[in-house]
Amino acid sequence: MIYRRHKAVPPAEDERKAEEALRAALPGSAPGGTPELPPEYWSNLLVRTNRRIDDEAASPRAISLSWALRVAIPGVAAIIAFLVGVRYYAPEPSRVEGDLLQAVAALPVETIDSLLALRSSPAGQAGEPAADDADFEVSPEQIADYLVGSGASGALFESLSDEELNEVLHSLSVATKSL
């Protein structure tokens, strides 16, 4: 391949003459430059452009691509993620079999004592369930002892009336003055 050392630029007059000769040779072309467009063309250009864009956006191909990108692909991804989560991250049911005695033995001693107290009948016969809720009575002192023993003193103070609370505060102030 041989490279030229310089490019020959035709003079402007020769280029203009070649353009006019080409325009004259082409059928239906108006001599003397670009034809003038009517003003309706320019005022209607935006409407025609928007219509063409809408036609392209409403074509079956564009709708199917849009539906696939917005609905189908995220939906399939969500279903796959859910199935992976269920398969690998869902806890399996425990295979340990036990009976009620083992479950009760695992409870703290205070809870077992309160369960036995609830199960005993008012007549003092341990082991027999109470026949009715009306037969079973628990004194407020027993409830307070249980709440203090189990460390639920907040629930104890919430269950006191205003008069009982004033009485407790008065007895505490008397006890602190004597110290």
Query: What residue segments make up the domains of the chain, in order of their start?
Result: 43-87, 106-119+134-178
Residues 6+ apart with CB under 8 A from 98: none
The SS3 of residue 28 is: coil
Write down the pLDDT at residue 30. Answer: 56
**By the 8 A CB rule, do 77 and 69 touch?**
no
More confident residue, 43 or 140: 43
pTM summary value: 0.26
pLDDT tens figures, 159-174: 778 888 788 778 777 7
Write down the pLDDT at residue 57. Answer: 77
pLDDT tens figures, 109-119: 777 777 766 66
Mean per-residue pLDDT over the chain, rounded: 75
